[in-house]
């Protein structure tokens, strides 16, 4: 647990969340600001700040996050139509909460690519 981490506080039930699933490794809850008809997050119980901080020993947990996403998408009824899982990393990735989380977005068709022309970063930067 990291003292100032929002998602550690949600894991510890210090801050409420609209939970969908929980086990000893992960918690899934609805995103407070949904960007699709279905938008929930899957987070590990273990505090891991960013994708860059995932260690070899965390590989099973990260796989379990993805599997949990797929099981919940099926339970919620949008797995066959399709959905997107996203894990943002650091500033360019758009990360705002520094405890890794898998976004699961579904319920309507999505576009690609996920950035705007004006935000494109020149290759040399």
CA Rg, the chain, in Å?
15
Q: Of the two residues 63 and 94, which places its CB atom closer to ligand AMP in the complex?
A: 94
Among 37, 77, 82, 94, indicate the residue that binds ligand AMP (CB under 6 A): 94
Alpha helix stretches (DSSP H) within 1-125: 6-11, 59-76, 90-93
11 near ligand AMP, rule: CB under 6 A: no
Strands (E), the chain: 19-22, 26-30, 38-44, 83-86, 102-106
**Contact call for residue 47 and Zn ion (CB under 5 A):** yes
The contact mask relative to Zn ion for 4-43 (x = CB under 5 A, - = no) is -x-xx-----------------------------------
Q: Which is nearer to Zn ion, 5 or 54 (CB)?
A: 5
Query: 84 forms bridges with which residues in the sheet?
Result: 105
């Amino acid at each position: 647990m990291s003292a100032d981490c929002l998602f550690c506080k949600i894991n510890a039930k210090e801050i409420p969340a609209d939970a969908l699933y929980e086990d000893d490794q992960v918690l899934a809850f609805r995103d407070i600001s949904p960007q699709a008809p279905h938008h929930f997050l899957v987070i590990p119980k273990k505090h891991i700040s960013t994708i860059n901080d995932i260690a070899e020993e965390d590989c099973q947990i990260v796989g379990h996050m993805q599997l949990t996403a797929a099981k919940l998408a099926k339970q919620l009824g949008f797995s066959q139509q399709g959905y997107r899982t996203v894990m943002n990393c650091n500033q360019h990735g758009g990360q705002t909460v520094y405890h890794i989380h898998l976004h699961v977005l579904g319920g309507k068709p999505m576009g690609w690519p996920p950035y705007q022309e004006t935000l494109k970063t020149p290759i040399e930067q």
